[in-house]
C-alpha cells in the first residue's frame, strides 16, 4: 500500500520545483548575458582561422596573442604579425591583412638546426595539416578572384604576334596588358575589344607595353583654342613635330580621334577622348593620348564611345 502524501511532502516538492525554477532562470539569465557579451565582443569582427605549424608556436598580431590552431574573432585591418617558438626555429615578422576575403592566418616556421628538424619531424602531421589548409584557402581565394574578375577566365591570350594578359598589383587592382609590336597593335587591339564589354572598358586600365618615346609625357599647356585639333597642338607644342592630329569624331558630349606618326613600315597611333564645356568653350582631354583608351580616367565616358575610339 502506497504511503499517504502528507503536507510536508507537498511542501518539499513545491520547494524542489521552485528551486529548479530558480536554477533554470539563473541559467537562462547567464546564457542571455553570455550571448549579449559575445555579440558585443564579436561586433564588427571576422571569424579567422589561426593555424601555424608547429602548434606550439606563439602567434601574435600587434600586441595581442592569438590561440594557435583555433578560431579567433578579429576586426578587419592590417596587423603586424609575429610567430615564434624557440631558438631552433625561424621567426615570422611581417604584415598580415584580415578581411572577409582573407579570413585565415596560417603558415609554418622553419627549423634552423638538427634539433628543430627533429621536432618538426615529430610533429609532421601539424605541418601536413597547415599545407592542406593552405591549399584549400588558395583554391577558395582563386575562386573568389575569378568571381570578382571574370576576365581571369579569358586571359591570357598568346599568339605569335601579340599577348593579352592581366596583372594584379594589389588585391583590389586588376590591370590588363597588351603586348605587341607596332605592326600588330591594331590586331591585338581588336582581339582585346572582342573580350572586353563596354563596362570593362570603363573599369579596367589597359597597359600597352613597349610604348617608347611618347610625345605626351611632357607638360600640357592649357589654352583657349577654338578647335580641338588646335587645342592639342598648342598644348603639346614642339613635342608633336612629325605627328598628325586627325579631325575628331563627335558623338553627343564626346569627341575622339587619333594622332599618328608614319614610320618606315608602320604607323604609330595614339588615341584621345575629349569633351567641351559649351558654356565656357573650354576643351578637356580625359587623359593623355595613349594607344588604348580605357580605365578609371575614362569611367565617365560611355563604353561604346571608348570602343569606337579604339577601333579608329
Condensed to tens digits (0 to 9), the pLDDT of residues 164-218 reads 998 887 667 888 999 998 889 999 999 999 999 999 999 999 999 877 678 998 8
Instruction: For residue 20, list its beta bridge partners.
Output: none
Indicate the pLDDT class of residue 275, thresholds 50, 70 and 90. very high
Report d(CA 148, CA 153) in Å as an integer.
11
From CA 110, how far away is CA 53, in angstroms rounded?
Answer: 9
Bond preceding residue 156 cis, omega within 30 of 0:
yes
Pairing of strands 249-251, 244-245: unpaired
pLDDT at 135: 79
Give the pairing of strands 70-74 and 46-53: antiparallel
Q: C-alpha cell of 15?
A: 520547494
More confident: 220 or 18: 220
Q: Is the pLDDT of residue 114 over 60?
A: yes
- pLDDT higher than 60, residue 14: yes
Q: Cell 624557440 maps to which residue? A: 86
Phi-psi region of 214 (alpha: psi -120 to 50; beta: other; left: phi over 0): beta
Torsion over CA: 290, 293, 294, 298 (sign): positive
- Domains in the chain, CATH or no CATH each: 46-148 (2.60.40.1120), 157-311 (no CATH)
- Average pLDDT (80-108) is 90
Q: What is the pLDDT of residues 222-270, one digit of tens each?
A: 999 999 999 999 999 999 999 999 999 999 999 999 999 998 888 999 9
- 136: pLDDT confidence band, cut at 50, 70 and 90? confident
Alpha carbon distance 284, 232 (integer Å): 10
Amino acid at each position: 500500500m502506497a504511503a499517504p502524501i502528507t503536507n510536508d511532502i507537498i511542501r518539499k516538492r513545491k520547494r524542489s520545483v521552485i528551486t529548479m525554477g530558480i536554477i533554470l532562470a539563473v541559467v537562462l539569465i547567464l546564457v542571455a548575458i553570455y550571448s549579449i557579451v559575445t555579440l558585443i565582443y564579436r561586433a564588427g569582427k571576422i571569424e579567422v582561422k589561426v593555424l601555424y605549424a608547429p602548434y606550439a608556436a606563439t602567434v601574435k598580431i600587434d600586441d595581442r596573442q592569438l590561440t594557435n590552431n583555433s578560431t579567433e574573432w578579429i576586426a578587419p585591418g592590417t596587423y603586424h604579425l609575429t610567430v615564434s617558438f624557440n631558438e631552433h626555429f625561424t621567426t615570422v615578422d611581417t604584415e598580415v591583412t584580415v578581411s572577409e576575403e582573407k579570413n585565415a592566418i596560417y603558415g609554418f616556421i622553419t627549423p634552423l638546426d638538427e634539433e628543430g628538424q627533429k621536432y618538426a619531424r615529430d610533429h609532421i602531421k601539424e605541418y601536413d595539416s597547415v599545407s592542406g589548409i593552405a591549399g584549400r584557402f588558395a583554391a577558395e581565394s582563386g575562386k573568389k578572384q575569378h568571381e570578382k574578375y571574370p576576365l581571369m577566365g579569358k586571359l591570357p591570350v598568346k599568339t605569335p604576334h601579340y599577348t593579352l594578359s592581366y596583372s594584379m598589383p594589389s588585391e583590389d587592382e586588376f590591370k590588363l596588358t597588351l603586348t605587341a609590336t607596332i605592326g600588330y597593335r591594331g590586331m591585338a587591339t581588336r582581339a582585346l575589344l572582342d573580350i572586353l564589354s563596354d563596362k570593362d572598358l570603363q573599369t579596367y586600365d589597359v597597359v600597352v607595353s613597349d610604348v617608347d618615346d611618347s610625345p605626351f609625357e611632357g607638360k600640357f599647356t592649357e589654352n583657349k583654342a577654338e578647335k580641338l585639333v588646335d587645342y592639342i597642338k598648342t598644348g603639346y607644342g614642339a613635342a608633336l613635330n612629325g605627328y598628325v592630329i586627325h579631325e575628331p569624331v563627335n558623338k553627343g558630349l564626346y569627341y575622339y580621334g587619333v594622332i599618328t606618326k608614319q614610320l618606315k613600315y608602320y604607323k604609330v597611333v595614339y588615341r584621345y577622348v575629349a569633351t567641351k564645356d559649351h558654356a565656357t568653350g573650354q576643351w578637356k582631354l580625359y587623359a593623355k593620348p595613349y594607344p588604348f583608351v580605357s580605365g578609371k580616367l575614362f569611367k565617365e565616358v560611355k563604353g561604346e564611345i571608348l570602343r569606337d575610339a579604339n577601333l579608329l
